[in-house]
Every structure is written in C-alpha cells, then in structure tokens.
Amino acid sequence: MSRGYNFSAGPAVLPEDVLRQAQAELLEWSGARASVMEISHRGKDFIALAEQAEQDLRDLLAVPSNYKVLFLQGGATQHFAQIPLNFARRDQAVDYVLTGDWSEKAAKEAKPLAQVRIAASSADSNYDRIPARAEWNLDASAAYVHVTPNETIRGVEFHDIPDVGGAPLIGDVSSTILSRPFDVSKYALLYAGAQKNIGPSGLVVMVVRDDLLERCPKDIPKIFNYAEHAAQGSMLNTPNTWGWYLAGLVFKWVKAQGGVAAMAARNRAKAELLYGYIDRSGYYRNPVEKSARSWMNVPFTLPREELDAAFLKQSEAAGLLALKGHRAVGGMRASIYNAMPLEGVQALVDFMKDFAARNG
Amino acid sequence: MSRGYNFSAGPAVLPEDVLRQAQAELLEWSGARASVMEISHRGKDFIALAEQAEQDLRDLLAVPSNYKVLFLQGGATQHFAQIPLNFARRDQAVDYVLTGDWSEKAAKEAKPLAQVRIAASSADSNYDRIPARAEWNLDASAAYVHVTPNETIRGVEFHDIPDVGGAPLIGDVSSTILSRPFDVSKYALLYAGAQKNIGPSGLVVMVVRDDLLERCPKDIPKIFNYAEHAAQGSMLNTPNTWGWYLAGLVFKWVKAQGGVAAMAARNRAKAELLYGYIDRSGYYRNPVEKSARSWMNVPFTLPREELDAAFLKQSEAAGLLALKGHRAVGGMRASIYNAMPLEGVQALVDFMKDFAARNG
C-alpha cells in the first residue's frame, strides 16, 4: 500500500512533509522528552510553539495589528451559534447571504439568538452562482453581515470580497483560507474549521477586529465569550494542542511554498486544469456558473448516474481517493485544497479521460 | 535524549505503546492510504473506528444500555456552561458541591444560566477534604447536583459516589475516569476532558442517561443541544477525529492491561508508594485529609519554599518532568494517571529521598 491522491472534502489531505515531521517527533517533540500532546499548554515550550504559529499565520495573511488571532474548538458549526451569541441581541437583525448548504446552516443556527434576515440567496438556482452584490438587500442597522466565501458542497466561491457598507462583515472561510491572498481588513471577523487548509479537525482559527470584541456581552458564560478567549491568548481553557501544533507546521509549509500568493498560482493552475478538461470533455459536467466556480471543491457529474459506482470503484483502485459527491448533489466531487499537488489533479484528469473513453 | 517520566497534570502522559502505534500508522492508517486525520468522519472506515471506541469504553465502564456515549469538543470547561444550558432553566435551582478550583469554575460558568446554589463546600479549609454527605444542603427541587470527583489542583478525590436522592447527579470525571471502577448508573451524566486518562486535549467524552436528554430545550442552537449530538452519533458536525482515534487506542490499551479493576490496583499501589513515603519522610508534606487524597494528583511541599527551584531543576535533569505545583498551591505536584508506570513513581520517590538527604 502507499498513499493515494486524497480528494476528501474534509477532513482533507495534509502536506506529506508535515505528516512526516509529526511522525518523526511524535514520541519526543523538540527537547521536551515527551510528545507535544503530553505537555502543558501553559509551559514555556508550548507557549513558544503557540506564539510562533500565530505569528506565521499573521505573516501569511498580513493580519493587521488591530486584529486578534484565536485558536478555538468546536468546528465552524459551533461558531455559527457562538457568533450571534457574542455579536447580536435576540431582537437585533443580522444579515445572511445564502450561497449554499453551509451558509444555510449558519443562518439556521443563528435563528434562536437573533433576527435572521436573508439578504440574498441563490437557492432558487440550486446555489449555482453568487448573487450579484447589487441584488443584496442589506439592513443598514444589522449587527453584522455573514457570508461563506467558499461552499464545499456545491463548489461555489466568491472571487472577491463584497463591500457591505458600515455593518461588520463576518466570513466563514473554512475552505478558502490560505488558498489565495485576500484583504483581511475587509472582514471584521473571519473563522475557519481547520480540517481543509490548516490541519486536523477539532481546531478553529478565528481572526477578529478589536472593536468587535468590545461588543461581547458580559452576561454569558466566559467560555462562550470571544473577548475572554482573546484576553487569555486562547488559553482560557486547555486548547486542542495537537491541532495547534499541526497548524503551525502547515503554516511553515505554506511559507516554504512561497506563501499565499504561490498557493494561489498553484491552486489556479489545478482548477484550470480540472475545469478545463471537464468543459472540453463533452462527457463530464460542472453546473456552476463559471464566474463562481470554486478553486477548492469541484463537483462534477457523469453522463449517466449508473456509471457512478464504476467510476468510484475504478478511481479508488487507481489511488484516487474520496471522489464521491455529497449526497445533496450526487455525482463526484474533487476537493483540491492546498496540499493536493498538481500531479494529483493531472492523475485525476488522466483517469477521467480514460474512463470516458472506455464508457462513452 | 529519551522520554522522561512525565508528571504533567494535563495534557498528560499517554501510554508509550499507544504513541508508537499512532506513530507507525500516522501516514497510512489501516487500509485507507491516508492518515486517519485525512479521512471523512462519515466514511465507513472512520465510522467503524468510532463505533469500536464507543463499544470499548462501554465495556470498560460497564455503561448501561439506557445511556448514550458522546464524543464532543470544547474541553470540560465548555460543558460547565453547556450543561446548565441543556438541563436547567434560568430561574431554576442547581446544586454544586465545591471541593476545589474546578468545581468552583463549574459553578461560576453556570451562574448566567441557572440559580446556582452551593450545597456544600470545603473552601473554608482550603479544599483539603470532601465535605461529609451529611453536611450537604441539597434542594430537592434542583435541576441537578454537580460534583467533581477528583480535583487536580489540590489533589482531593471522592472515594465513593454520593447518594443525592432524586435529583440527577452530574459528575466532571475528567481526572478520575478509567482510573478505578465505579457505578455509572449512580450518575445521570458524567463528562471528562480527554487529556488526563483518555487521550489528547480537544476531546470530551460524555456518558448521559436517555431520560436526561429529553430535557434538552428545542429553542437553543442545535450545536449546543446534547440530544441532537446523541441523535447524530456525535457527528452533528465534524468531530475531533484524531482525538477519537487516540482515545480508541487508549481504551484498547486499558483493556489489554486488564481493564479498570487492574488500573485501580496499579493506581492504588502507585498512590500508596508516594503518599507512604511523603508521610514517613518527615521532610515532604501533603496537606489533604487522608480519606480524601487523590490517587491521580499528589501535591506536596518541601520544608522551605527556597528549595523548590533546586528540586525542580534537579528532578528535571533526572528525567522526572513537570513536577511544578499549580500556582494556587505552590510546591510540587505529581500527577500519576493511568499511563504513569509504577517504575516512574519509584524513580520519583528515589529522587525525593536523595534530595531530602542532600538538603536536610
């Protein structure tokens, strides 16, 4: 057996160099005479690791100094609820832009905690596009505007960050963070589950502007209060230390690749290779409007659903893993995050060509 | 360098056999051609791992069939808040028994969410004992009674589970779970941060009786609702898959050691060795009432505080790691969880004897 090309939507492929380093030092990390999993998060060794990881992320994203970087738990889904808990009152409007299943879920989790408005939605066309900014119906008094810049299930991505006027913009960037440069200062808060471009599941990275943290209510439990987490350097309680450690290794790896701009060049080339072949094939099909196609998640269908099982079986045998599409969409999905090399996408395209020739 | 004997209070030592297995299969787990961190939590391979881990924990603790086992995130601290959110109303009484810093924190996090009563407390004697059951002032109408059967900071432990009458008993068993047999059915709910006897930080294991789950309110976000987590087999969102995997390896390891009864025999022997030496030494001192001394966390002081720095420096040089006591107590603390072998405690006692002889 050997490692395949892993197209899982998440938990997703990690850089092999990172896994090899983690493997080598699993029993004895640095000079600790213990695994990094076995040491106190409050000891000087782990604090140094944690601070370095934060600094590397700040460097990579060019995070302005008036933003805090938090390393949290619970998955993005927990923060679907915790964000309105911190930044809205129950009787206050919050604006959500629906571009897929994840933004729908975010809005749903906010409902018990705020007056959720749907400012825009592309649900009427099965989330195959990003609603044009001119169509958005924003409430100027909303506590915030929430967007999901990349939707993993239907493979739709914002290719730039919308201007939403005065309301703080909040983005769930789980599946796009570190894949391309963007201007952090256009967001008041961004957050990401780690298990796509950052590290293992169980870790959430949040970048939040200082003035937004001033809104966190004092009458909620401390552990739900982002300002408390920020004040304690994300060590209000024991963090996911293994996740934080691996995230730090991934940040170093992204730096070594040339940073986010270099990742973007690679990701664009991978996406162009795959979409280019799909569009030319006359066999496979991606339903998303070209201007809104995701660089990270590429769903595609075969000409007949009956072919799906053979495609999956044969692709897996060829070392192309986890291509089954989400049940909400069917067909296939290739997630091609940062850690997927161009060679993996080329191998997929080669297989797809061959399969089409054999099953025309 | 080589691995030391690690007395960290948590994140804490893990069984070396478990670490070696995790290391060996870090890049390719089972037949997945990927790391266990890189595969979908919804795929059949991970589901099988998850179910096996649950079954092994059920076997080890003899969990009755009318209890659900959940694998959650957020650390025990998050559940200090989430428990009252699920099981109490804002105007309803909840009873807390304070036996140390962790039960204090649990009560504090519940305050915004329920009417917190302190049913008993040993704060007046610096938490050096467990208040006798006869002294507890319980409210028969309380939504639940909360206890912390082992307190890591001051090293105080319940040696049996109190009978609290009709109210559901909830226990934060983070630092005692799997260390000795106990009757799960005396609790309505027990929960544990993994980073002592179960696995890495970032994972919480909860065991909860079905009838309690019926109380979970429908008007809170799903992600905060334990009944929703139970209904989805702890896969309401992406769980901490690495933590779940390692917990599964630890459960197998505990089984291979002979189960919880065998762990208890080892843990009793380790505790008797260390407390026995401390009491006989006339040099070191543990302040806790003998009947309430923890098997897991053994704080001790030296005759003069000025000796602390030398003790820490020399013990670390001797490969005895992380002995510094919590800042709230000072002195030293040896945490001797399941994964600490008797040889480690013997090495510590030998060092302590030698240090005392040299610094009498």
Residue of A nearest to B2 (CA): A33
* Residue at B2 is within a domain: no
Looking up tokens 């309505």, which residue turns up?
Answer: B188
Parallel/antiparallel/unpaired status of strands A169-172 and A189-193: parallel
Same domain for B244 and B282? no
What integer pLDDT is reported at residue A1 of this predicted model?
56
* Residue at B92 is within a domain: yes
Q: What is the distance in angstroms between the Cα of B248 and the nearest Cα belonging to chain A?
A: 16
What integer pLDDT is reported at residue B147 of this predicted model?
98
Instruction: At A318, list the tokens.
Output: 């060829």
Q: What is the CATH number of the domain that holds A280?
A: 3.90.1150.10
Q: What is the pLDDT of residues A38-84, one digit of tens each?
A: 999 999 999 999 999 999 999 999 999 999 999 999 999 999 999 99
Number of domains in chain B: 2
* Residue at A315 is within a domain: yes
**A238 appears as a binding residue in the annotation:** yes
CA distance B225 to B87: 10
* Residue at B5 is within a domain: no
Same domain for B198 and B68? yes
Same domain for A244 and A301? no
Bond into A11 cis (ω within 30):
yes
Same domain for A252 and A262? no
- Sequential DSSP letters for B175-191: TTTTSS---GGG-SEEE
Same domain for B230 and B305? no
Instruction: At A45, list the tokens.
Output: 């060794």
Determine contact, residues A77/A202, Cβ cutoff 8 Å: no
Same domain for B234 and B302? no
Strand residue runs (E) in B80-174: 93-98, 115-121, 145-147, 150-151, 156-157, 169-172
Count other Cβ atoms within 10 Å, centred on residue B314. 15
CA distance B342 to B162: 30
Same domain for A309 and A244? no
Q: What is the pLDDT of residues A119-145, one digit of tens each?
A: 999 999 999 999 999 999 999 999 999
Which of A202, A230, A256 is the C-terminal boundary of a domain? A256
Mutation target among B40, B336, B338 for the A interface, most CBs of A within 10 A? B40
* Residue at B6 is within a domain: no
Same domain for A290 and A215? no
The domain in which residue A285 lies consists of 258-358
* Residue at A1 is within a domain: no
CA distance B294 to B180: 12
Per-residue pLDDT of chain B (360 residues; tens, 9 = 90+): 599 999 999 999 999 999 999 999 999 999 999 999 999 999 999 999 999 999 999 999 999 999 999 999 999 999 999 999 999 999 999 999 999 999 999 999 999 999 999 999 999 999 999 999 999 999 999 999 999 999 999 999 999 999 999 899 999 999 999 999 999 999 999 999 999 999 999 999 999 999 999 999 999 999 999 999 999 999 999 999 999 999 999 999 999 999 999 999 999 999 999 999 999 999 999 999 999 999 999 999 999 999 999 999 999 999 999 999 998 889 999 999 999 999 999 999 999 999 999 998
Which of A256, A288, A316 is the C-terminal boundary of a domain? A256
**Active centre residues of B (catalytic):** 102, 172, 196
Same domain for B242 and B274? no
What integer pLDDT is reported at residue B193 of this predicted model?
98
> Which residues, including other chains, have CB under 8 Å from residue A226's CB and lie 6 or more apart?
A70, A82, A86, A206, A208, A213, A216
Give me the residues paired with residue A348 across strands: none
* Residue at A5 is within a domain: no
Same domain for A106 and A151? yes
Same domain for A298 and A234? no
Give me the residues paired with residue A150 across strands: A157
Residue of A nearest to B73 (CA): A74
- Cα A247–Cα A348–Cα A278 angle in degrees, nearest 5: 110
Mutation target among B80, B240, B244, B324 for the A interface, most CBs of A within 10 A? B240
Same domain for A279 and A170? no
Q: Which of B193, B200, B237 sits opposite A37 (nearest CB)?
A: B200
**A102 appears as a binding residue in the annotation:** yes
Which of B204, B236, B256 is the C-terminal boundary of a domain? B256
**A129 appears as a binding residue in the annotation:** no
CA distance A247 to A109: 27
Say which DSSP state B224 is in. G
Residue A170 Cα distances to A80, A185, B111, B231, B346, angstroms: 11, 11, 29, 30, 55
* Residue at B139 is within a domain: yes
Helix (H) or strand (E) holding A95, with range, is strand A93-98
Q: What is the CATH number of the domain that holds A237?
A: 3.40.640.10
Q: What is the distance in angstroms between the Cα of B313 and the nearest Cα belonging to chain A?
A: 14
Chain A residues with CB inside 8 Å of B236's CB?
A: 77
Interface confidence, given as ipTM, is 0.98
